[in-house]
Amino acid sequence: MEFSEFTTILAQWCEQRPLTPLDCWIDDANARLAVHGQGVRLSLDLLDPYDGTDPQRLEALLSQGGASVACACEGALAIDPETRCVVLISWLANPCTSADALNRLEQLANQRAAMLSLMQTSMRHATALSSPRATLNTWHPGV
């Protein structure tokens, strides 16, 4: 789908505010907009249910949570009760426009990319520390 088509659909959804959520894909992740209370809840998948139950990935992701605070990102970590995915979630109070929703989705996508990058770096670093190269300080026969 072209970006212009997406913005048109988003604008229609924001005007009508139907009870059915709007699902779309952003950077290979499911994004969902849903009417919640007096506003719109936006969520973006961070880890699927399989990766979200991997202790190493979850620990690496949660250890990078401070990066979101440092860059003043709007998304909070949550677990979607329907999909069991770890998501970034945000909420926009009414009145909110499609431009507000689009801006917040862009922020969530940027935050997601940064968190996943930091998570991967953290996991590589942890793997390197847990399996250091053996150092032999003495000569061994046959070596």
Q: What's the pLDDT tens digit per position in 85-135?
A: 899 999 999 889 999 999 999 999 988 888 888 888 878 766 655 555 555
Read off the pTM: 0.79
Ordered by where they begin, the domains of the chain are: 3-120 (3.30.1460.10)
Please state, in angstroms and as integers, the Cα–Cα distance from residue 88 to each residue in 43, 82, 112, following that order: 5, 14, 7
Distance separating alpha carbons of residues 69 and 45, to the nearest angstrom: 19
| Residues 6+ positions from 41 with CB-CB distance below 8 Å | 32, 33, 34, 35, 89, 90, 91
Q: What's the pLDDT tens digit per position in 7-23?
A: 999 999 999 989 899 99
Distance separating alpha carbons of residues 70 and 94, to the nearest angstrom: 27
